[in-house]
Chains A and B, each alone.
Chain A
Amino acid sequence: MVAAELVPQEAIGRASLLWLIPALPLLGAAIDLFVGRRLGRWAGWLATALVAASFLISIGVVTQLLDLPDEERLVVQHLFDWISVGDFRVGMDLRLDAVSATMILVVTGVGSLIHLYSIGYMRDDPRFGRYFAYLNLFVFFMLMLVLGANYLVLYLGWEGVGACSYLLIGFWFEEVANTEAAKKAFITTRIGDSLLLIGLATIVFKFGTLDYGEVFTGAPAVLTESAATVIALLLLAGAIGKSAQLPLHVWLPDAMAGPTPVSALIHAATMVTAGVYLVIRSVPIFELSPVALDVVAWVGILTVLFGGICALAQWDIKRVLAYSTISQLGFMFLAVGLGAYAPALFFLVAHAFYKALLFLGAGSVIHGMEGEQDLRRMGGLGRRMPWTAFTMGIGALALAGFPFLAGFFAKDIVLEIANTNERWGFYVFGSIGALLSALYVSRLWFLTFVGRPRSEAAEHAHESESLMVVPLAVLGVGAALGGVLSLGPHGWISRFVEPLVGLVPEGEEGIPGPAFLVIAVGITFAGLLVAWWVYASGRVDWHRLRERLEPLPRAALHGWYVDRAYDAVIVQPAKALAGITANVVDAKGIDGLVNAIGGGTRRLARSGRLLQTGFVRSYALVVFAGAVAVLLYVGSRL
């Protein structure tokens, strides 16, 4: 299904600036890290300006790419040799093609808006400069991840964004819970990362190179189906960890401990989509293994349902969005698993817009309520924060799949492909997932902005400053109009990436188009209406309703106790094993042996110990003098 081979072009003209795109944020990170404290508020402006500059360069580079004919849309820039051992060479190469072009526009575009917003949001933070250093460093690693021309550069970025995610989740490390969340995120994703690394080693073993071009053109000849399955599943494991899919999703809800703009940038718009990017990037390998693609689709659809149900029961505004992100990423995996790579990429772009918007809106709400995150204590904020309410409303409608907003196109293409290819399970469960997303996001919006204020803080809430509202408005426009990128399966973005990932697999079967559309729109409106009826019409006492449904809401609130299960099955046994090795094997066995040797030595050493002075440095001098003496002796005999 993958189309003709692309011929790599030299990086000339505007494309020769490609290296600047990641370099500028790196520069910003270095400056802010070393002198950020002295720069004061300029640290934030500097970081924002550099990412914005990257965005402008990205536009310049991508427009040049668009001017090339289809089969030449691949620019590779070789920066320097990174590793060169025997026949194995890895270059620090950047690769600009349709997929990475889309990604860098999203990363730098959404990234610079979130930087701008952060200047307002982090205004009073004592570690203002360090925050922007981390944020810039994150953008650098994310750009390396998507621009890399081989798997090792991708892996560099992959681990780098993980480290930045760790630093930013634990940014307010005075609270122990935040550092715990940071560690959890890092260690959980590390499980996936390790498998990814094994996957890369397998690629080296099979191909002798990590270069995308060589691997992809060689794949059909080199790999048997089982080998492709092994590699694809190992790559998928990495993607599952990074994109918080079942069963490694547990870190993302806790990652909300970080500052809200971080949640918007890293844990919604960019880093968590790296897994989707990895799978789209590795299409030539996945295409060789129908099994792996099915696994991707099933992981996706299960995550869609799981995340949607959990999001419906959360009280913390950010945790609703976290579970929503998990669920939406599930949709992207589902799309990839169905072979719909271009729609998955479009879903990623659309999701980056409306989820970043929702997170920034939530940040604005939290800011306006002096740190309150509990939906039960909000209500009636629409009048006090009109801009936030309006823009978040657009984001919510986009996520719910309201007609003609970005999310509508994104979700419907995925469902349509499931429908026309008669993958009924995916179609039905996907539609349920769509219903859930309409429900939870409108629940969130109604509970926050409609009704009477349910706390002091909600009564005295205030609209955020314009620095924070402007990014909201821009993202709102993106979330509303993003759909033009992808009108139907043959939209602009599909044609753009077609040379890389092939055509969208369209079947002829299934529910006919008009009926399909009616069902899809009906589902969205059903979700919105039910949420309105329960949470905003005043006719239902939702506290009582929830109590009557117990214990389901409580289980969903706690993520179906997956954390507790992991604790019981993995953490506690590991601790017990560690206890045995520490208290029995080590204390009794090894220490016993050591003590016995020590006791013997001690008896031997009674006579020699009088030489000791106890000054470490004089011992070091003796060692040094001895070494010199030996060298002189050896030298004199040569």
Chain B
Amino acid sequence: MRTPIAYFVMLSGILFALGTVGVLTRRNALLIFMSIELQLNAVNLALVAFSRMHNQLTGQVLAFFSMVVAAAEVVVGLAIIVAIFRRRRTIDVDDARELRW
């Protein structure tokens, strides 16, 4: 028996909401980053679930693309965080705000 699609979507929604709350409330750049990963993977889950529902592979393939993009994003993002930390000895995002003008 197949698990109903609603379960996947609900799980995906919960994960996405958790990620969003994390992004909005955290000040530590690494934690924000992890929350973003959570959001991305929530979306991946939804993609795969819908792909299964429609019995076609497009969604799964798209999920692969988004994983690759996420990996690239991790590389760039972590590099930025490391660079910020080297310069300022902190990764609190609220401290890094002198680029506004």
A620 contact from B24, B94, B98, Cβ within 8 A: B24
CA gap between A21 and B32 in the complex, in Å: 41
CA gap between A624 and B93 in the complex, in Å: 18
Quick one: CB contact mask for A604-638 with B, threshold 8 Å, 1 for yes? 00000110111111001100100000000000000
Nearest B-chain residue to A611, judged by Cβ: B100
CA gap between A513 and B101 in the complex, in Å: 91
B99 with A614: CB separation less than 8 A: yes
Q: Which residues of B contact A85 (CB under 8 A)?
A: 57
The verdict on B97 contacting chain A, using a C-beta distance below 8 Å, is: yes
A617 with B27: CB separation less than 8 A: yes
B97 with A617: CB separation less than 8 A: no
The verdict on B23 contacting chain A, using a C-beta distance below 8 Å, is: yes
Q: Which residues of A contact B24 (CB under 8 A)?
A: 617, 620-621, 624
Taking A621-B24, A624-B24 as contacts, is the C-beta distance between A615 and B94 under 8 angstroms?
yes
Q: Which residues of B contact A615 (CB under 8 A)?
A: 93-94, 97
Nearest A-chain residue to B99, judged by Cβ: A614
From residue B71, how far is it (CB to closest CB) to chain A in Å? 18
Q: Which residues of B contact A617 (CB under 8 A)?
A: 23-27, 93-94
CA gap between A621 and B21 in the complex, in Å: 10
Taking A617-B27, A620-B23, A624-B24 as contacts, is the C-beta distance between A609 and B94 under 8 angstroms?
no
Give the secondary structure class of B's interface: loop
Number of interface residues of A (CB under 8 A): 13
From residue B1, how far is it (CB to closest CB) to chain A in Å? 15
B100 contact from A614, A620, A621, A624, Cβ within 8 A: A614
Nearest B-chain residue to A620, judged by Cβ: B23
B20 with A609: CB separation less than 8 A: no
Nearest A-chain residue to B23, judged by Cβ: A620
CA gap between A86 and B56 in the complex, in Å: 10
From residue A487, how far is it (CB to closest CB) to chain B in Å? 55
Which residues of chain B from 58 to 101 have any CB-CB distance to chain A below 8 Å in the complex? Answer: 93-94, 96-101
Quick one: CB contact mask for B1-41 with A, threshold 8 Å, 1 for yes? 00000000000000000001001111100001000000000
Q: Which residues of B contact A86 (CB under 8 A)?
A: 57
Q: Which residues of A contact B93 (CB under 8 A)?
A: 615-617
Q: Which residues of B contact A614 (CB under 8 A)?
A: 96-100
From residue A372, how far is it (CB to closest CB) to chain B in Å? 40
Which residues of chain A from 565 to 611 have any CB-CB distance to chain B below 8 Å in the complex? Answer: 609-610
Task: Tell which of A85, A615, A620, A621 has the most Cβ of chain B within 10 Å.
Answer: A620
Q: Which residues of B contact A613 (CB under 8 A)?
A: 97, 100
CA gap between A86 and B97 in the complex, in Å: 51
A610 with B94: CB separation less than 8 A: no
Q: Which residues of A contact B96 (CB under 8 A)?
A: 614, 616
A616 with B20: CB separation less than 8 A: no
CA gap between A621 and B97 in the complex, in Å: 16
Nearest B-chain residue to A614, judged by Cβ: B97
Q: Which residues of A contact B20 (CB under 8 A)?
A: 624
Q: Which residues of A contact B94 (CB under 8 A)?
A: 615-617
Q: Which residues of A contact B25 (CB under 8 A)?
A: 617
CA gap between A617 and B32 in the complex, in Å: 9
From residue A444, how far is it (CB to closest CB) to chain B in Å? 47
Nearest A-chain residue to B93, judged by Cβ: A616
CA gap between A616 and B96 in the complex, in Å: 9
CA gap between A614 and B96 in the complex, in Å: 7
Q: Which residues of B contact A609 (CB under 8 A)?
A: 100-101
A610 with B101: CB separation less than 8 A: yes
Q: Which residues of A contact B99 (CB under 8 A)?
A: 612, 614
Nearest B-chain residue to A624, judged by Cβ: B20
Q: Which residues of A contact B100 (CB under 8 A)?
A: 609, 612-614
B98 with A616: CB separation less than 8 A: no
CA gap between A616 and B35 in the complex, in Å: 14
Q: Which residues of A contact B32 (CB under 8 A)?
A: 616, 620
From residue B92, how far is it (CB to closest CB) to chain A in Å? 10
Q: Which residues of A contact B23 (CB under 8 A)?
A: 617, 620, 624
From residue B44, how far is it (CB to closest CB) to chain A in Å? 16
Nearest A-chain residue to B29, judged by Cβ: A616
From residue B25, how far is it (CB to closest CB) to chain A in Å? 7
Q: Which residues of B contact A616 (CB under 8 A)?
A: 32, 93-94, 96-97
Q: Which residues of A contact B97 (CB under 8 A)?
A: 613-616
Q: Which residues of B contact A612 (CB under 8 A)?
A: 99-101
CA gap between A612 and B94 in the complex, in Å: 13
From residue A83, how far is it (CB to closest CB) to chain B in Å? 12
Which residues of chain A from 26 to 68 have any CB-CB distance to chain B below 8 Å in the complex? Answer: none
Q: Which residues of B contact A624 (CB under 8 A)?
A: 20, 23-24
Quick one: CB contact mask for A315-341 with B, threshold 8 Å, 1 for yes? 000000000000000000000000000
Chain A: residues with CB nearer than 8 A to chain B? 85-86, 609-610, 612-617, 620-621, 624
Chain B: residues with CB nearer than 8 A to chain A? 20, 23-27, 32, 57, 93-94, 96-101
Across the A-B interface, the 10 shortest Cβ-Cβ residue pairs: A614-B97, A614-B100, A612-B100, A616-B93, A620-B23, A609-B101, A620-B24, A617-B24, A621-B24, A615-B94
A sample of 20 cross-chain residue pairs with beta-carbon separation below 8 angstroms, ordered by A number, consists of A609-B100, A609-B101, A612-B99, A613-B97, A613-B100, A614-B96, A614-B98, A614-B99, A614-B100, A615-B93, A615-B97, A616-B93, A616-B97, A617-B24, A617-B25, A617-B93, A617-B94, A620-B24, A621-B24, A624-B23
19 further A-B contacts with Cβ under 8 Å, apart from A614-B98, A614-B99, A615-B94, are: A85-B57, A86-B57, A609-B100, A612-B99, A612-B100, A612-B101, A613-B97, A613-B100, A614-B96, A614-B97, A616-B32, A616-B94, A616-B96, A616-B97, A617-B24, A617-B27, A621-B24, A624-B23, A624-B24
